[in-house]
Amino acid sequence: MADQQDPNAEFDAVIIGAGVLGGAIAVELARRGMRTLSVDKASAAGAGSTINSCAIVRFTYSTLPGVTMAWEAMHYWTDWPAYIGADDELGLIEFHQCGMFNLLLGEGGHSSKVRALWQELDIPFEDWTLDDLTERLPLLDHGRYGPPKRPDDPHFWDDPTGTISGAIFAPDAGYVSDPQLSCHNLQRAAEASGAEFWFNAEVVSIDRTDGRVGGVTLADGRRVTAPVVVNVAGPHSTVINKMAGVYDSMNIKTRALRHEVHHVPAPQGYDFMADGLVGADDDTGFYFRPETGNNVLIGSVDPDCDPREFVDPDDYDTTLSQEQWEAQVLRANRRIPTLGVPHEKKGVVDLYDVSDDWLPIYDRSDLDGFYLAIGSSGNQYKNAGAVGQVMAELIEAVESGHDHDTTPVVVTGRYTGREIDVGFYSRNREVNPDSSMSVHG
């Protein structure tokens, strides 16, 4: 085991980022016999953007590969203790498998597209009528108010123009209430197979040796030698790609997007922790799930009317804004009229690592030995386990001489046996017209 003070440590692979995706990649590579080092500029695993993830486990993607990956990944959460396979002094996370519904707004909408994909992939779901919605979540108003608007729009408080038509419900969906703990679980699992983790370790250089990646240099002067480096730096992915000299050659780029999530107490007399569900409403423009303390967590589906604030990941406003607080909470009140608007703002501000089409990049790069697991766009937490397997098999194949750019690697899912075409997530793809360009948590 290398000493953290060793100025010239050697490993088989360096993983930049110890969030949920980086942790899962470390687990897979270490279990395949690679000596891995995970470095993170934060002070602990999952202390970056993962700590504020809404951690919703869902399958409501708008592409067949996206749904396939998410369905495979769900099984890691239901099998978490066996998957981790190691003791963690902090305990293991709990996957709250409460189910998730998406409101149906008529033919041709996002939910209709998702329903067709679920049918094609034989993913269990239920068609809910308005009566079913009332029985399962009586808090909901059934009016049509869309498209989503901001409170300063003169039509924001207009009467409904009709009613929603029902919902689709996935009973296997849910959420994880402590996303940072999931990263600690992954750290302990990787360490059990010989992986190392260095924190407060900022990468300042991607080094080269003989025309390929040769390791990394840290801000404190330590240099780590490794023939494989994996960029899983979340909102800092572009910073790392520019260090490596691969940014300009990528057709799909990533940027850091500032985002807010809000917490509002559940309506009085309603036990949202016990009876609440995960839900998504493209009509008013928000998604929600139960949150610790009988709160409702409210996020935005990024409607066109909302401004998008791309920022420097090391210099952005971390305070909740009054404008976005009102927009998201008032939208939620259109659908849940008894929710109310608390005087005190509560919630979190963090960053999405957003790609040009809001789909991730899981790929090699033009620098041999340098790999990408980036562009998670606020929606890839749920896919961590599957991403670990995908990246490990991609790295093994490419390092063994496989030409992934010409013949993309295809991975067979460990749990479902379904094929995951890794070429779908290429850095060189065109912007995918089927992407929803949004997040449902």
Q: Which fold has domain 8-91+178-253+357-425?
A: FAD/NAD(P)-binding domain (3.50.50)
> 229-231 and 347-355: which strand pairing?
unpaired
Vertex 144 angle, CA 140 and 150, to 5°: 95
* Separation CA 400–CA 33 (nearest Å): 15
Task: Kindly report the pTM of this predicted structure.
Answer: 0.96
Query: Which residue is associated with the tokens 């996206």?
Result: 66
In angstroms, what CA-CA distances link 54 with 50, 63, 254, 261? 9, 21, 20, 8
Q: Where are the domains of the chain?
A: 8-91+178-253+357-425, 97-173+255-355
CATH of 97-173+255-355, one of 3.30.9.10, 1.10.287.3510, 3.40.50.920, 1.20.58.340: 3.30.9.10
For 87, phi then psi, to 5°, come to -80, 145
pLDDT of residue 78: 98
* Separation CA 420–CA 393 (nearest Å): 11
Tokens at 183, concatenated: 């990263």
Helix, strand or coil, per DSSP, at residue 347? strand
pLDDT of residue 5: 53
pLDDT of residue 278: 98
pLDDT of residue 8: 75
DSSP letter (8 states) at residue 233: -
DSSP letter (8 states) at residue 130: H
pLDDT of residue 441: 56
Crossing angle of helices 64-78/110-121, nearest 10°? 70
- Could you count the other beta carbons within 10 Å of the beta carbon of residue 405? 14
pLDDT of residue 6: 60
pLDDT, tens digit, 9 for 90 and up, residues 237-246: 999 999 999 9
In angstroms, what CA-CA distances link 183 with 26, 49, 298? 11, 11, 23
Are 395 and 228 in contact by the 8 Å Cβ rule? The answer is yes
Query: Which residue is associated with the tokens 């107490």?
Result: 265
* Separation CA 361–CA 375 (nearest Å): 6
pLDDT of residue 2: 45
**DSSP class per residue in 11-58:** -SEEEE--SHHHHHHHHHHHHTT--EEEE-SSSSTT-SGGGG---EE-
pLDDT of residue 1: 44
Query: Which residue is associated with the tokens 């709250």?
Result: 96
* Separation CA 168–CA 128 (nearest Å): 6
**In the chain, which residues have pLDDT < 70?**
1-7, 436-438, 440-441
